[in-house]
Amino acid sequence: MKTLFLSAALLFFTNTIFSQDVIRLQTCKNDMIGHQADSLKTLLTKDGYILLKEASISMESEFEMPVIVPLTQGSSYQFIFIGDYTSRLYEVRMYDWQERQVIFRQKKWGEVDGNVIAYNYIPQFSEFHMMKPVQVNKQKKKNLCGYVMLFKRTGAETGAVNTSATKAVATTEK
């Protein structure tokens, strides 16, 4: 009788453990976000960056979507998150391997580039970092499209010059 009871209990707990919901990364398609991503890729490539990673991700409102990336000490990186244009708030937090927050950016709907968060980062150590984008949408709770990209500056170690910044300075001096 004990054996039957233990077997039933084990079967119940095994089914409970394996039936838990698992968050799976799913892609999404949004033409507006795709166009913004393509424009940013072109712009950053011209500025001397190479695209290392990119992903379109289906997100839920108010839930962070962790993205873990290995970064090299002293290299210059550009991170970009593009959120669904109907969301009201966009945030990105970045943590180093010791779980210290090293970046926090927030944008709100209605700002000129409100659904795009972009920032530069030069890591102090070669280690994994975690970027956590989140967006808040009152109408759509699920199936929000988000897009993340990681760029690395080519020639940053050799002192390459940002040509578009030089052109901008030259035109303002005239």
| Residues 6+ positions from 123 with CB-CB distance below 8 Å | 71, 72, 73, 74, 75, 77, 96, 129
**Residue 52 belongs to some domain of the structure:** yes
**Residue 12 belongs to some domain of the structure:** no
**Residue 86 belongs to some domain of the structure:** yes
Position 156 pLDDT exceeds 60: no
Give the residue-averaged pLDDT of 21-31. 72
Q: Provide the 3-class DSSP secondary structure of residue 172.
A: helix
Q: Domain containing 95: what range?
A: 24-156
Provide the CATH number for the domain around residue 133: 2.60.120.380
H helix count then E strand count, the chain: 3, 8
| Residues 6+ positions from 1 with CB-CB distance below 8 Å | none
**Residue 31 belongs to some domain of the structure:** yes
Number of domains in the chain: 1
- Tokens 């926090």 found at: 104
pLDDT on residue 60: 93
| Residues 6+ positions from 112 with CB-CB distance below 8 Å | none
**Residue 13 belongs to some domain of the structure:** no
pLDDT tens for 106-154 read 998 777 677 999 999 999 999 999 999 999 999 888 889 999 999 999 8
**Residue 19 belongs to some domain of the structure:** no
| 147 vs 160 pLDDT, higher one | 147
**pLDDT band (50, 70, 90) for residue 3:** low
**Residue 99 belongs to some domain of the structure:** yes
pLDDT tens for 43-90 read 999 999 999 999 999 999 999 999 999 999 999 999 999 999 889 999
The encoded tokens of residue 63 equal 């839930």
